[in-house]
């Protein structure tokens, strides 16, 4: 970070994030992190297939989202063609917040997380991410002088107050919060015919779903440190006015945005930049309290909205009824992923309108992404990249990149990007796995990173520009685009693909062992805990990757990092390599090796000369 900071800040000044005196104004930053949305669901990604309301695939244009605001952000800003998250929610949110993969956070899967000490030093359960990773997104922004706000879902173990956010609006927070007096849109466990089952408190009937509280309509809302609150954390509505206006028509995502905008206004009055971490529920299926029999667990309908080519208008919801029988009077959309994405587009339009009104649109960075693949298609799947391929759109003033960017990125990259944007220097001894996007976004740098990685328990997924290994240890050729973004050809005969494909495979395989700690270092360091049960995975403790081992590949000696070096530099680097590889060159003196490679005696060992040398030797 020490070396890149001057470059980064110089780029940002050139981008126009400065004042008349030529000093840098820290940009406001908004991260809008959607829930369970694959890249294929967004029109900008051009997939010929997307999700239908009852789940499964469709190509019906009537069920396609219409996202004019996201489309414009993606063209005026940029969109990353291949961005990865983890395969499911909790590990992905840990990755986003920490900039680290699961081998560091120990958040392997939703119900598969390592134990570790909490802030008191006691080991009582899941290791909180703020304990494994004391520099989270919120901490970096706070320490850089930002006002920090967290809106939406949490699903992060431990205390909300320890994640680096000044305030928050959560819908809902934790399921153990059962004392909400304002809404009965929630489930509770009861014994029915001797079995413990979820029962809807609104109807008193057994529900064919998992235990949940309402986060869309008539929502559960908790506030963190709001000026109107009497306690640091309390239920909303919390004032006479809000209690009067709260009801069946109240929509959770609207409440989140209302409090977020209030926070932005207050920070502007204080002269502080703001950092918004908006983790919306939109994209996640929920229990349809209005149509429990017809729809059950679904992408619940949203308030109706309309785009006229320039602006959105929203129909004020009207809902009447009780105990599972409700009338929405034509003010709520049909269920479906397309309805959720349309409302996300509306919310991002609201953000942009708000920024324009505040006069800070030219000094605000917006990052849109999602935590994992769509439910019923990719969520928690280790197949190909179904679970981890998510949308990523970045809209910021002064970027050199616009439109489609055929590069690799992952949600772990957001934390170092935030650090560069805020001027925060990550300590040299603090290990992160993400790579800042700022040099790519603000310079002529053509690529971002060479590979991306995800994990699902012990299953490891990794891809480069040419090949992908999925969680089932199958390999795929990803060098060609496919219209559905997923129909990659499986590689079964490595002799039938290019040398570049084989080389990249070897490079990716060399990376995996350092992250492969699920069975050996499952918990926080020093903690001995064996979970009562683990989810079923394709890879067991006793197994190496049988399919990988079974594929014979003739190892070729690639052109080394010393290509084009002088004799002195070549020998120095080769000696370092000998120290790492032991027997590789133990029979060959490096100076003699250089002389044999330098065929034209020009004092340089070029890449072509090295390749020719190894070809002569049959290596």
Judge whether 513 lies within some domain.
yes
What domain count does the chain have?
A: 3
Question: What is the average pLDDT across 534-548?
Answer: 65
Convert 205-224 to b/e letters by CB count within 10 Å (16 or more is b).
eebebeebbbbbbbbbbbbb
- Does residue 482 sit in the same domain as residue 592? no
Structure tokens at 88: 């499911």
- 3-class DSSP state of 365: strand
**pLDDT score of 165 more than 80:** yes
Give the torsion sign (CA, 392, 397, 400, 402): positive
Q: Examine residue 305 and state whether it is found in any structural domain, yes or no.
A: no
The answer to the question of residue 54 being in a domain is yes
Q: Is 339 exposed, middle or buried (0-12, 13-18, 19+ CB in 10 A)?
A: buried
Q: Is the pLDDT of residue 544 over 60?
A: no
Residue 299 φ then ψ, to 5°: -80, 90
Query: What is the average per-residue pLDDT within 588-615?
Result: 67
> 């000490």: which residue's tokens?
117
Residue whose pair of structure tokens reads 């439910």 in the numeric block: 375
Q: Is 14 helix (H, G, I), strand (E, B) or coil?
A: helix
The model's confidence at residue 275, banded by pLDDT at 50, 70 and 90, is very high
Q: Token pair of 59, please?
A: 């190509």
Judge if 360 and 506 occupy the same domain.
no
* 131 within some domain: yes
Of 3-12, 218-227, 424-433, which range is least confident?
A: 3-12
DSSP tag of 283: T
Is 185 among the domain residues?
A: no
Q: Which letter, b or e, does each residue of 566-578 get, where b requires 16 or more Cβ atoms within 10 Å of its Cβ?
A: ebeebbeebeeee
The string of pLDDT tens digits covering residues 79-113 is 999 999 999 999 999 999 999 999 999 999 999 99
Q: Which of 448, 464, 498 is the last residue of a domain?
A: 448
Name the nearest CA neighbour of 132 among 114, 159, 154: 114
In a domain, 194, yes or no: no
Give the residue from 36, 154, 29 showing the smallest Cα distance to 391. Answer: 36
Which phi-psi region, left, alpha or beta, contains residue 173 (left: φ > 0; alpha: ψ -120 to 50)? alpha
Is 188 part of any domain?
no
Q: Write the CA distances from 342 to 232, 283, 298, 348, 349, integer angstroms.
A: 34, 10, 16, 10, 11
Q: Of 151 and 292, which is predicted with more confidence?
A: 151
Is residue 507 a contact partner of residue 513, using CB atoms and an 8 Å limit?
Answer: no
Label residue 581 by pLDDT band (50, 70, 90): very low
DSSP state of 501: H
What are the helix (H) ranges across 307-380?
337-358
Residue located via tokens 């650090």: 419
**DSSP code of 206?**
B
Residue 580 and residue 492 share a domain: no
| Domain final position from 404, 428, 448 | 448
Name beta bridge partners: 463: 452, 468
User: Own/partner pairs for 154-158, CB < 8 Å, 24+ apart?
Assistant: 154/279, 155/89, 155/90, 155/93, 156/93, 156/94, 156/97, 156/128, 156/129, 157/113, 157/125, 157/126, 157/127, 157/128, 157/129, 158/118, 158/119, 158/126, 158/128, 158/129, 158/130, 158/131
* 1 pLDDT above the threshold of 50: no
Helix (H) or strand (E) holding 617: helix 607-617
Strand 297-298 to 286-287 pairing: antiparallel
573 in the same domain as 513: no
Contact by Cβ (8 Å): 17, 264 = no
CB-CB contact of 348 with 313 (8 Å):
no
Report the candidate in 290, 169, 319 with the shortest Cα–Cα distance to residue 233.
Answer: 169
Structure tokens at 308: 């006229």
Express each pLDDT in 40-78 by its tens digit: 999 999 999 999 999 999 999 999 999 999 999 999 999
Same-domain status, 410 and 521: no
Q: What pLDDT, on a 0 to 100 scale, did the predictor assign at position 556?
A: 45
Q: Which residue in 63, 90, 139, 135 sits closest to 457, CA to CA?
A: 90
Last residue of one domain, picked from the residues 448, 482, 504: 448
Q: Is the pLDDT of residue 589 over 90?
A: no
Contact 119, 142 (CB under 8 A): no
* Residue 302 CB partners (closer than 8 Å, separation 6+): 216, 251, 253, 282, 332, 333, 339, 340, 342, 343
CA distance 455 to 522: 13
CA distance 345 to 74: 12
3-state secondary structure string across 487-529: CCEECCCHHHCCHHHHHHHHHHHHHHHHHCCCCCCCCCCCCCC
Q: Do 65 and 176 belong to one domain?
A: yes
Strand partners, 113: 107
Quick check: 396 pLDDT over 50? yes
Sorting pLDDT into bands at 50, 70 and 90, what band is 558? very low
Residue 322 domain-assigned (yes or no)? no
Banded pLDDT at 609 (limits 50, 70, 90): confident
What phi and psi, each to the nearest 5 degrees, are found at residue 148?
A: -120, 135
Q: Are residues 71 and 139 in the same domain?
A: yes
pLDDT tens digits for 447-468?
999 999 999 999 999 999 999 9
Domain region containing 613:
565-617
Share of residues in the chain with pLDDT > 70 (%): 84
Residues 66 and 174 placed together within one structural domain of the fold: yes
Lowest mean pLDDT among 58-67, 310-319, 605-614: 605-614
Share of the chain above pLDDT 90, in %: 75
Residues 474 and 581 in one domain: no
For residue range 476-532, list pLDDT tens digits in order: 999 999 999 999 999 999 999 999 999 999 999 999 999 999 999 999 999 998 888
User: Alpha-carbon distance 473 to 471, whole Å?
Assistant: 5
How far apart CA 495 and CA 523 sit, in angstroms, is 41
Judged against a pLDDT cut of 70, whether residue 577 lies above it is answered with no
Radius of gyration from C-alpha coordinates of the chain:
26
Separation of first and last alpha carbons in the chain: 39
- What rounded mean pLDDT belongs to the chain? 89
Instruction: Give strand pairing partners of 338.
Output: none
Q: What is the CATH number of the domain that holds 116?
A: 3.40.720.10
Q: What is the pLDDT of residue 294?
A: 87
My answer on whether 288 and 396 are in the same domain is: yes
Return the H-helix or E-strand segment holding 590.
helix 590-597
Task: Give dist(CA 98, CA 127) in Å, integer.
Answer: 13
pLDDT for the residue 568 = 59
Q: What three-state secondary structure class fits 34?
A: strand
442 and 479: one domain?
A: no
pLDDT of residue 576: 43
- pLDDT at position 547 is 43
Q: Based on the domain organization, do 471 and 370 belong to the same domain?
A: no
Confidence of residue 602 (pLDDT cuts 50, 70, 90): low
């Amino acid at each position: 970070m020490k070396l890149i900071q001057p470059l980064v800040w110089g780029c940002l000044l050139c981008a126009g994030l400065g004042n008349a005196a030529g000093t840098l104004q820290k940009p406001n930053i908004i991260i809008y992190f959607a829930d369970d949305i694959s890249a294929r669901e967004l029109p900008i990604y051009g997939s010929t297939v997307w999700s239908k309301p009852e789940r499964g695939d469709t190509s019906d244009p009537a069920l396609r989202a219409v996202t004019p605001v996201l489309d414009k952000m993606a063209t005026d800003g940029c969109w990353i063609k291949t961005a990865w998250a983890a395969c499911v929610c909790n590990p992905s949110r840990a990755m986003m917040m920490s900039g680290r993969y699961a081998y560091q956070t120990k958040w392997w899967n939703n119900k598969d997380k390592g134990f570790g000490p909490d802030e008191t030093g006691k080991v009582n359960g899941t290791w909180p991410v703020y304990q494994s990773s004391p520099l989270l997104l919120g901490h970096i922004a706070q320490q850089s002088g930002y006002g920090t706000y967290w809106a939406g879902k949490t699903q992060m173990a431990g205390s909300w107050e320890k994640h680096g956010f000044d305030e928050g609006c959560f819908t809902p927070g934790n399921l153990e919060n059962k004392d909400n007096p304002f809404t009965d849109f929630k489930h509770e466990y009861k014994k029915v015919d001797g079995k413990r089952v979820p029962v809807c408190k609104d109807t008193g009937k057994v529900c064919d779903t998992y235990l949940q509280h309402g986060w869309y309509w008539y929502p559960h809302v908790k506030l963190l440190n709001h000026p109107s609150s009497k306690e640091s954390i309390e239920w909303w509505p919390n004032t006479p006015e809000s209690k009067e206006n709260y009801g069946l028509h109240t929509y959770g995502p609207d409440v989140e945005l209302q409090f977020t905008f209030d926070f932005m206004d207050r920070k502007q009055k204080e002269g502080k930049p703001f950092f918004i971490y908006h983790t919306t529920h939109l994209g996640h299926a929920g229990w349809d309290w209005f149509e429990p029999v017809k729809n059950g667990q679904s992408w619940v309908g949203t308030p109706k909205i309309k785009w006229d080519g320039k602006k959105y208008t929203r129909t004020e919801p009207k809902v009447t009824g009780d105990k599972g029988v409700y009338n929405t009077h034509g003010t709520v959309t049909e269920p479906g992923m397309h309805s959720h994405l349309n409302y996300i587009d509306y919310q991002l339009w609201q953000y942009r309108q708000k920024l324009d009104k505040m006069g800070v649109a030219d000094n605000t960075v917006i990052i849109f992404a999602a935590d994992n693949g769509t439910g019923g298609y990719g969520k928690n799947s280790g197949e190909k990249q179904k679970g981890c391929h998510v949308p990523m759109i970045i809209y910021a003033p002064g970027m050199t990149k616009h439109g489609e960017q055929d590069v690799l990125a992952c949600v772990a990259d957001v934390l170092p990007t935030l650090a560069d944007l805020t001027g925060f220097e990550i300590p040299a001894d603090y290990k992160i796995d993400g790579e800042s996007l700022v040099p790519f976004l603000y310079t002529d740098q053509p690529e971002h990173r060479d590979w991306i990685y995800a994990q699902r328990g012990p299953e490891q997924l990794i891809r480069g520009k040419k090949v992908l290994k999925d969680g089932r240890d199958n390999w795929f050729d990803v060098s060609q685009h496919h219209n559905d973004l997923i129909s990659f050809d499986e590689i079964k005969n490595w002799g039938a693909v290019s040398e570049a494909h084989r080389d990249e495979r070897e490079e990716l395989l060399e990376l995996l062992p350092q992250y492969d700690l699920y069975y050996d270092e499952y918990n926080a360091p020093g903690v001995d805990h064996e979970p009562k049960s683990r989810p079923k995975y394709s890879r067991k403790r006793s197994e190496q990757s049988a399919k990988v081992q079974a594929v014979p590949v003739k190892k070729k000696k690639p052109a080394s990092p010393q290509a084009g070096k002088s004799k002195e530099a070549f020998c120095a680097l080769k000696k370092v390599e000998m120290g790492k590889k032991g027997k590789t060159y133990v029979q060959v003196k490096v100076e003699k090796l250089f002389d044999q490679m330098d065929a034209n005696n020009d004092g340089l060992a070029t890449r072509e000369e090295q390749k020719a040398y190894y070809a002569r030797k049959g290596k």
